[in-house]
């Protein structure tokens, strides 16, 4: 279901927040409306988490399967307590102390009052307290937790500007709040608290190394071997541009022989790599710099906008180079890999056929 009118467009400066505009966005949420708003990571498509019909509209607007649970946004501990059950585990308290407000989502036992649709019937709920001043002002003015997935069509690239939201979901939002480009550019890190351990379900804006880097906290990565711990809905193809996309292991073009490079001559191929890691460009290819491999925060900030730019420029095929780096590189490489439907070419000799296969599905 979509609303049949153009959304109300509110420009709210994050440094000079207009309370009247925040109130308008909050009133729309309280009335069961869909409000797209900025966070420090990506834009979210928000609704009142306790309004089942509104939550259903969010799934419909995105074309998202009901089996893929949403993140609930809160403005502090009191609101957190309305969506979770029981006392918080010590690890959760430690993580909240250190990282909230911020791009860390915690998966915790769900309060029975919260509509099941929010977390796809799971006994858990994902919660975060966003660090963006406009996001938290809206949640506070709303007075109720706000369920919000990223404000893009399902499996498309996440939005880092209000223009991206308009392009994907302009006909289904009641209100779009524009506060400019988002700072981090990649989604929050999703962590489930299991016994005495924090397990990362989705790499994101806070790297694993930073999460684990304090006290006795044990942090690990969800392994594919334990499907219970995999994040539902974290699909193989996700964050994808429209153009067919192939991921390549870091540096493989630099090691390619002249014959291999010659065999890669094609028109309409865009190679997205790192400005400070120059590599030979096969004939007919165009280079799109993703920024410097030494400044991964800048790469993260611009990655989704770059994917949308390449689509808009009419790329036939997009070749994305992995960073191969730890830290934020893990989250960037996760998104690049999923944008390419998990097709990662490790050997330059395999690249020509991978490109041709991607182009003619």
Residues found near ligand TXA in the complex (CB under 6 A):
39, 41-42, 44, 68-71, 103, 105, 107, 119, 122, 124-126, 148-150, 187-188, 190, 201-202, 231-234
Name the residue nearer to Mg ion (CB basis): 100 or 304.
304
Residue 275's binding partner out of ligand TXA, Mg ion, none, with CB under 5 to 8 Å set by partner kind: none
Shortest distance, CB of residue 115 to ligand TXA, whole angstroms?
A: 13
Q: Is the CB of 39 or the CB of 245 nearer to ligand TXA?
A: 39
SS (H, E, C) 216-262: CCEEEECCCCCHHHCCCCCCCCCCECCCCEEEECCCCCCCCCHHHHH
Q: How far is the CB of 234 from ligand TXA (least distance, A)?
A: 4
- Give the one entry of Mg ion, ligand TXA, none that residue 348 binds, where binding means its C-beta sits below a cut-off of 5 to 8 angstroms depending on kind: none
Structure-token match 């949420």, residue found: 29
Phi, psi of 91 (to 5 degrees): -60, -40
CB 321 to ligand TXA: min, Å: 24
Whose tokens are 């996309």? That residue is 245
Query: How many Å apart are CA 5 and CA 14, to the nearest integer?
Result: 27
Q: CB of 10: closest distance to ligand TXA in angstroms?
A: 17
Q: Distance between CA 115 and CA 191 in Å, rounded?
A: 22
Which is closer to Mg ion, CB of 157 or CB of 354?
Answer: 157
CB of 15 to Mg ion, least distance (A): 27
| Residues lying near Mg ion in the complex (CB under 5 A) | 150
Q: Which is nearer to Mg ion, 204 or 348 (CB)?
A: 204
CB of 158 to ligand TXA, least distance (A): 7
Distances (CA, A) of 43 to 37, 144, 158: 6, 19, 8
Least CB distance to ligand TXA at residue 114 (A) = 11
| Residue 109 CB burial class (10 angstroms; 0-12, 13-18, ≥19) | middle
Report CA-CA distances (Å) from 94 to 40, 88, 334. Answer: 21, 10, 26
DSSP 84: B
Q: By C-beta, is 39 or 323 nearer to ligand TXA?
A: 39
The DSSP annotation for 55-68 comes to HHHHHHHHT--TTS
Q: How far is the CB of 100 from ligand TXA (least distance, A)?
A: 13
Task: Tell me which of ligand TXA, Mg ion, none is bound by residue 105, counting a contact when its beta carbon lies within the kind-specific cut-off of 5 to 8 angstroms.
Answer: ligand TXA
Distance CA 129, CA 136 (A): 8
Q: Which does 231 bind (CB under 5 to 8 A by kind): ligand TXA, Mg ion, none?
A: ligand TXA
**Would you say 183 or 321 has its CB closer to ligand TXA?**
183
**Residue whose CB is less far from ligand TXA, 256 or 307:** 307
Residue 251 interacting partner from ligand TXA, Mg ion, none (CB closer than 5 to 8 Å by kind): none
Dihedral of CA 316/60/143/13: which sign?
positive
DSSP string, 274-317: -TTS-----TT-EEEE---TT-HHHHHHHHHHHHHHHHHTT-SE
Select 212 or 233, whichever has its Cβ closest to Mg ion. Answer: 233
234: partner contacted, choices ligand TXA, Mg ion, none (Cβ within 5-8 A by kind): ligand TXA
Which of 234, 236, 239, 249 shows the shortest CA–CA distance to 319?
249
């Amino acid at each position: 279901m979509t609303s049949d009118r153009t959304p109300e467009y509110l420009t709210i400066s994050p440094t000079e927040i207009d309370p009247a505009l925040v109130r308008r966005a909050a009133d729309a949420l309280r009335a069961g409306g869909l409000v797209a708003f900025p966070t420090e990571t990506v834009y979210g498509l928000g609704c009142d988490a306790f309004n089942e019909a509104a939550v259903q509209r969010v799934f419909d607007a995105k074309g998202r399967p009901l089996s893929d649970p949403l993140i609930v946004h809160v403005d502090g501990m009191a609101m957190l307590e309305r969506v979770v059950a029981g006392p918080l585990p010590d690890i959760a308290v430690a993580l909240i102390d250190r990282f909230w407000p911020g791009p860390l989502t915690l998966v915790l036992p769900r309060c029975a009052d919260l509509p099941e649709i929010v977390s796809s019937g799971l006994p858990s709920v994902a919660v975060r307290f966003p660090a963006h001043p406009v996001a938290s002002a809206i949640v506070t003015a709303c007075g109720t937790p706000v369920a919000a997935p990223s404000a893009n069509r399902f499996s498309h690239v996440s939005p880092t500007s209000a223009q991206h939201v308009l392009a994907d979901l302009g006909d289904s939002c009641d209100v779009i709040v524009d506060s400019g480009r988002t700072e981090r550019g990649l989604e929050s890190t999703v962590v489930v608290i299991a016994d005495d351990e924090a397990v990362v379900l989705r790499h994101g804006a806070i790297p694993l190394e930073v999460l684990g880097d304090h006290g006795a906290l044990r942090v690990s990565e969800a392994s594919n071997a334990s499907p219970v711990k995999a994040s539902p809905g974290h699909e193989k193809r996700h964050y994808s541009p429209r153009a067919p996309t192939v991921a390549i292991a870091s540096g493989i073009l630099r090691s390619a022989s002249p014959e291999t490079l010659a065999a890669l001559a094609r028109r309409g191929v865009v190679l997205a790599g790192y400005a400070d890691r120059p590599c030979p460009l096969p004939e007919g290819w165009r280079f799109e710099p993703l920024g410097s491999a030494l400044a991964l925060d800048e790469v993260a900030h611009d990655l989704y906008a770059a994917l949308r730019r390449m689509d808009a420029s009419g790329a036939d095929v997009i070749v994305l180079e992995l960073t191969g780096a730890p830290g934020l590189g893990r989250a960037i490489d996760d998104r690049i890999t999923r944008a390419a439907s998990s097709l990662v070419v490790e050997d330059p000799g395999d690249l020509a056929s991978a490109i041709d296969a991607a182009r003619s599905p």
